Structure 1
Amino acid sequence: MKHVLLVGQSVMVAANGKMASPWRARPPPITKLTLGVLIFVAFWILLAYNSPSYTLLDDDDNDALGAVGGQITANGDVRMTMENRWRGRDGPGTNCSKRLSPSPCEEIHVAIVCSGFEQSRDIVPLIKSSLFYTNNPVHFHFISDEDARLVLGTLFRTWQIPGVRVSYYPAEGLQRLVAWFPNRHEFKPSQVAKLLLASVLPQELEKVIALNIDLTFAADIAELWWLFEELAAQDRAIGLVESQSDLYAGRPWATLGGGYDTGVMLMRLNELRRLSWMQVWKTVVEKITDTSGAVLRALTDQDIINAVIKDYPYLHMTLPCTWNLQLSKQTISEVCFSKLSELKILHWTSPRKQNIQLNNINFFRSLHTTFLEYNGNLLRQRLPSTCSSSNSAGYPGPGLHRTGTLDQTANKGSCSKFREASSLTYRTHLFYMNYKWPEPKAFDVALVAQLSMDRLHVLEALCLRWKGPMSLALFVSDSELQQFLKFANESKVISDRTNIAIHVVYKADGFHPVNFLRNVALNEVRQPYVFLSDIDFLPRYGMYNDIRATLAEFEPENSRKALIVPAFEILNYRTRDFPKSKSALIRMMDQEQVFSFHYHVWPQGHAPTDFKRWRTSTAPYRVKWAASFEPYVVVPSNVTRYDMRFVGFGWNKVSHIMELNAQLYDFYVLPHTFIIHMPHAPSPDVAKYHLKWSYRKCMSTLKMEFLRDLMRKYGASAMRYKNLKLD
């Protein structure tokens, strides 16, 4: 191979620069000897190009590079050292990976450590970009805590990406593997999780790509997977890219040369097990403890792997730097590539992530933003089901599930669009914003609602008026979600709260799945009670504490009691004019500035609340259910879920209250609390209902089906609905 490189260099020199001019002045005659030499050289170039096995660096080369990498100046500047290391060589497999790749049915295994709600959100661009470029089956192995398993489990189950499998391995179980670790109080087992992969992952699994979550792919992950062939050819156990900063300058105990970054790492697990990997890095940690105990508490798996490489340099192979372009303020990654098209993976190593200033940063940000806003539903079409199960054999792990294709068997015929909309699987990302589980409180109550971007303006006002926990389902597209995130992060009212659970449900074509959204929010409540509201209603200041006090005083003897919060509407958009007390509300009612909700278009919806009695009430009073009643209620959080056949506009709340009535719930009106509706433009589904006869006809059909199901389910208690007049 060295001869090939030398010949290539001589040809390049002859083709340009000062050495080219004599040839242009007088071309030499081509003799038989010259022709023979050229044919011989061409033969060996062709042979080297098509060889299925290739070697760019032998052991002597690696040792020499390690020696160059050790030349660090007194002030820790490694820029010139790193430039010398990268220039003149592309690294193993750079050219070969362009023409060699695994079978399109070979399953690629990826291991990622992911903990908490924030990391579960930040990992999405990595998932999207890694799957976007490849058609190979991918099996993700997540080392995760309980929160991440909840989020990722729901996300992948509802995403339904063909050719993708997911396994979960509890991070809580890592403690037993590092119980010997001479840790300080800051140490967490997740800091060294990558070191434990050979022990945690199934013993049948021979190799895995270990990734950080802050990556954005710009190439097919199958090309990276193919580099395992080179790793095996060199008999190395780990493949990784050199550090592109001076992170390890001044810490000669820690690294070989300038060090390595473990954000992208190839691991031959079978080889690591053969080498007793756990014992290897344990010995190194104990050595560091003896010499540099003061830094032990800050050690991560990257620090330990670098220390291992220093003591055992034959374990690793250096990967092409384009497979881990490290972007931080101190980076010198620009010497890694000559064209942006050469890049494979962006690694956002800076604590500021995308908010840094670098050469080409606009291009890097644009690539990352593309995947933030990319419609993830399109990945459901990423892989034709041509690969047999034998080509992607599974490695059973804790929590393994296989995602499949979308169910295309929705009922056809009459009202098929309604039925299809109610049976769709919507991609769902729970707890998208920062959230902390509240401490358990007696009679605690969470506000439950759903919203889309056209109701976003109400959220800040709602947060000011409801200080208790909230569970909100947000219905948005991928691009709209980034607008919401920007709005929420810039709002101090929202960003300062950690008791608001935002559950993202991604849009699909069709109707607004209002009851599906309500159920998503309702399912994630951990409080004993819920206030089932709509996002465009603002509660009276202090209502959270009032409801808790009422529940404590008026504790339901059983779970079949629904406490009604009276609903009103105001024609003034200014929230500062909203009444702050019951007495102020009554005065505004007398002045005809406030009215009972929908009194002029749908009075039967709230008439059973008996607003006349409410004006003078001082204690909860019981009311009877009536047809079309749809109050906003406080109920136990284990309440029956909403019927998801009702999408868009019509009967979505009415059906729920009717089912509570069939379950023999008693309805009580709260005397001192109230909510006020914020005026807004009608939703598109409202317009469809009023303008399209076919819409109203299908709604009547769904109502009749619901009533039949109700009578079949609840028997005698639901027979009163048999002759119910449908509005």
Structure 2
Amino acid sequence: MQHFLWGKVVLVLVAVVAVLQVVHLILLSRLEARHHHHDDQSDQLASAGNEVEAAFAVLVRSLHQGRVLDSSGEYQLVPNLAPATRLPQLRVSSSLPDIALVTQCSFNHLHRVVTLIQRWQGPISVAVFAEDHDLSEALWTIVGLRLCYSAIRHNVSFQLVSPLPAGGRPPLSVPQDPAHPCQLPTPSRSEQQRNYAGSRRFPNNLLRNVARRGAATEFVLVVDIDMLPSVNLRQDFYDFAVKNRLFTESHREDKTVYVVPAFEVRETVPVPRHKAELLQLADQGHLRPFYIELCWKCQVCELHVAGYKFSVLNNGFLVHHGLKTATSFHVNKDMDQERNRMLFRQFKTELRDKYPESSRRCY
């Protein structure tokens, strides 16, 4: 009997050893696979790094070869810094039967293009402002957006505006200790709430014009980078334009501006996607007309004097996430506003000379 029990113990021990050997082999196999995977990942990261640096070099070359001065001689423009890859026909066609979204921003707000393309899903022209010391980081961010988001690479064209440096321009190079190109830096909440406040004046009108010239579609929608359109706005207007034959030659001289109503919503609620959600937020007191607290009478002036008529779209809209208040701007905003008032008075005088036969005026 004792001999029989020892025999069973030996069999059990042999089985345990066999199991342990199998487990050992499995662990060795997984460890080896992990090493191979780590090596593959290292190779992929090295390849991605080379691709990013190559793309960065392309943008540097585009900047050096494509820069021109604006009419004031104060700013350097690069109109085609990084054109969209899906629209090569823009080079041979003066206008396409489509709608482009036209926007502008300082380089540190480029991350907003990600949510913008998700809503728009079509051609976008972005004019980016960056001072001398920010140019490398601006180019790096644009490279990351194009490499990491195919929709941006295919649909978004980037233009650059930069003030001329007082001395020599610093050399352009990959930023020191750059983040992975897909990890876009985003400003803090307080920084996002405040407008641009760099050492140079932010040339918003110049930026809008540069971005506008970067779009070669039949219609354009000009917005700020922090405004989000309603879902399907582009497709809905395209269908409307086709139905009403707005893309035909006979409508090319039609003086009609299609107005997209703009609103601002509290940061504590999500940006509405459709008109039903917009109306619900308005009923709850979370949404109001854009800029209502700061400048309720701001309007498009020259189009009015030039004889255009305005047709407000019914279901489309734009929304700014956050309410615009006097405290949501940088400390020199009052000086900017006063300067703008002086320029506007001068602008109204110029309009009377430009359109002497028009009976329309801006107030």
For residues 493 and 567 of structure 1, do their structure 2 counterparts lie closer, same or farther at Cα, with a shift above 3 Å needed?
farther
> 2:123 maps to what in 1?
469
The Cα offsets for residues 149-171 of structure 1, whole Å up to 9 and x where unpaired, read as xxx3x41x339xxxxxxxxxxxx
For residues 158 and 602 of structure 1, do their structure 2 counterparts lie closer, same or farther at Cα, with a shift above 3 Å needed?
closer
For 2:110 and 2:57, how far apart are their aligned partners in 1? 24
Contact 1:443/1:551 (<8 A) preserved = no
> 1:80 maps to what in 2?
none
AA of the residue aligned to 1:520: V
**Superposition deviation, residue 474 in structure 1:** 0.6
- Within the candidate set 513, 519, 522, 2:203 is matched to 513
AA of the residue aligned to 1:713: K
Deviation above 6 Å: which 4+ runs of structure 1? Answer: none
Contact 2:96/2:216 (<8 A) preserved = no
Matches within 5 A, 1:155-234: 155=67, 157-158=68-69
**Superposition deviation, residue 454 in structure 1:** 3.8
Matches within 5 A, 1:20-35: none
Contact 1:118/1:433 (<8 A) preserved = no
> 1:703 maps to what in 2?
344
For residues 438 and 530 of structure 1, do their structure 2 counterparts lie closer, same or farther at Cα, with a shift above 3 Å needed?
farther
> 1:500 maps to what in 2?
156
For 1:591 and 1:548, how far apart are their aligned partners in 2? 32
- Within the candidate set 716, 722, 726, 2:357 is matched to 716
**Superposition deviation, residue 435 in structure 1:** 2.2
> What SS does the aligned partner of 1:699 have?
helix
For 1:583 and 1:698, how far apart are their aligned partners in 2? 40
> What SS does the aligned partner of 1:549 have?
helix
> 2:213 maps to what in 1?
523
> 1:658 maps to what in 2?
301
> 2:48 maps to what in 1?
none
> What SS does the aligned partner of 1:447 have?
strand
Contact 1:573/1:678 (<8 A) preserved = no
The Cα offsets for residues 637-667 of structure 1, whole Å up to 9 and x where unpaired, read as xxxxxxxxxxxxxxxxxxxx21111110010
Contact 1:664/1:717 (<8 A) preserved = yes
- Within the candidate set 265, 277, 290, 1:584 is matched to 277
What percentage of residue pairs aligned between the two structures are identical?
A: 25
**Superposition deviation, residue 473 in structure 1:** 0.2
> 2:51 maps to what in 1?
none
1:565 aligns with 2:267: no
For residues 593 and 474 of structure 1, do their structure 2 counterparts lie closer, same or farther at Cα, with a shift above 3 Å needed?
same
AA of the residue aligned to 2:352: M
For 2:360 and 2:288, how far apart are their aligned partners in 1? 34
The Cα offsets for residues 449-494 of structure 1, whole Å up to 9 and x where unpaired, read as 1011342332211011111101110111313314423542564365
Contact 1:538/1:677 (<8 A) preserved = yes
Contact 1:710/1:718 (<8 A) preserved = no
AA of the residue aligned to 2:135: D
The Cα offsets for residues 240-275 of structure 1, whole Å up to 9 and x where unpaired, read as xxxxxxxxxxxxxxxxxxxxxxxxxxxxxxxxxxxx
For residues 665 and 471 of structure 1, do their structure 2 counterparts lie closer, same or farther at Cα, with a shift above 3 Å needed?
same
Unpaired runs of 5+ in structure 1?
Answer: 1-116, 128-151, 160-421, 605-627, 630-656
> What SS does the aligned partner of 2:307 have?
coil
Structure with the larger RCO, 1 or 2 (CA within 8 Å, 6+ apart): 2
AA of the residue aligned to 2:257: A
For residues 673 and 428 of structure 1, do their structure 2 counterparts lie closer, same or farther at Cα, with a shift above 3 Å needed?
same
For residues 118 and 664 of structure 1, do their structure 2 counterparts lie closer, same or farther at Cα, with a shift above 3 Å needed?
farther
> 1:170 maps to what in 2?
none
Contact 1:570/1:676 (<8 A) preserved = yes
For 1:124 and 1:668, how far apart are their aligned partners in 2? 40
**Superposition deviation, residue 552 in structure 1:** 1.9
> What SS does the aligned partner of 1:706 have?
helix
**Superposition deviation, residue 548 in structure 1:** 0.7
**Superposition deviation, residue 523 in structure 1:** 1.2
> What SS does the aligned partner of 2:208 have?
helix
- Within the candidate set 571, 596, 601, 2:289 is matched to 596
**Superposition deviation, residue 573 in structure 1:** 5.5
For 2:96 and 2:204, how far apart are their aligned partners in 1? 30
AA of the residue aligned to 1:570: V
**Superposition deviation, residue 425 in structure 1:** 3.5
**Superposition deviation, residue 585 in structure 1:** 1.3
**Superposition deviation, residue 597 in structure 1:** 1.4
1:688 aligns with 2:332: yes
State the TM-score, normalizing by the size of structure 1. 0.33
Matches within 5 A, 1:290-309: none
> 1:452 maps to what in 2?
106
For 1:555 and 1:490, how far apart are their aligned partners in 2? 37
Contact 2:105/2:126 (<8 A) preserved = yes
**Superposition deviation, residue 529 in structure 1:** 1.1
For 1:444 and 1:583, how far apart are their aligned partners in 2? 26
For 1:536 and 1:572, how far apart are their aligned partners in 2? 12
**Superposition deviation, residue 526 in structure 1:** 1.4
For 1:122 and 1:719, how far apart are their aligned partners in 2? 47
> 1:198 maps to what in 2?
none
1:551 aligns with 2:241: yes
> What SS does the aligned partner of 2:257 have?
strand
1:670 aligns with 2:319: no
Contact 1:118/1:434 (<8 A) preserved = no
**Superposition deviation, residue 118 in structure 1:** 8.7
